[in-house]
Amino acid sequence: MMSAPSWAGSIASAILFSTDAQKLDCFVSNAGASPVTITNVSIVNGGSTILSLSGDSCVGQLSPFGNCGFSAALDARFSARGVVELRGSAKGLRGQCQLTTSSNHLVATTDLR
């Protein structure tokens, strides 16, 4: 019987910046045929501080073709990036992070890679 891989992988977005944005929302999809165990998600500002998440449905097992998301309000630095850490390969994971205003208007977007 084979056991699950023990190595760790990750995907992350580029840093997004806007003086109009109030939050960063990140969305993750498992496009692979096997479940993926997500061990941690974080949103990091431009000063390398981890921001408190206001929502997270990602930590745990993400089934094949499943989706999840996480978000955080931005601090005074007006910049942030999303990070997803997992057990195993990130090969089947796809994702995107987007900055939005308080009115939920999209300001900028980037892929998680």
Q: What is the pLDDT along the chain (113 residues), one digit of tens a residue?
A: 444 455 689 999 999 999 989 999 999 999 999 999 999 999 999 889 999 999 999 999 999 999 999 999 998 778 999 999 999 888 899 999 999 998 999 999 999 99
> Looking at this protein, which amino acid is placed at residue 82?
G
Judged by DSSP in three states, 70 sits in: strand
d(CA 25, CA 12): 13
Against a cut of 0.95, is the pTM above it?
no
- CATH level 3 topology of 8-108: Hypothetical Protein Tm1070; Chain: A (2.60.290)
Please return the burial class of 90, using the count of CB atoms within 10 Å of its CB with bins 0-12, 13-18 and 19+: buried
Please return the burial class of 82, using the count of CB atoms within 10 Å of its CB with bins 0-12, 13-18 and 19+: buried
pLDDT of residue 3: 47
pLDDT of residue 61: 95
> Per-domain residue ranges for the chain?
8-108
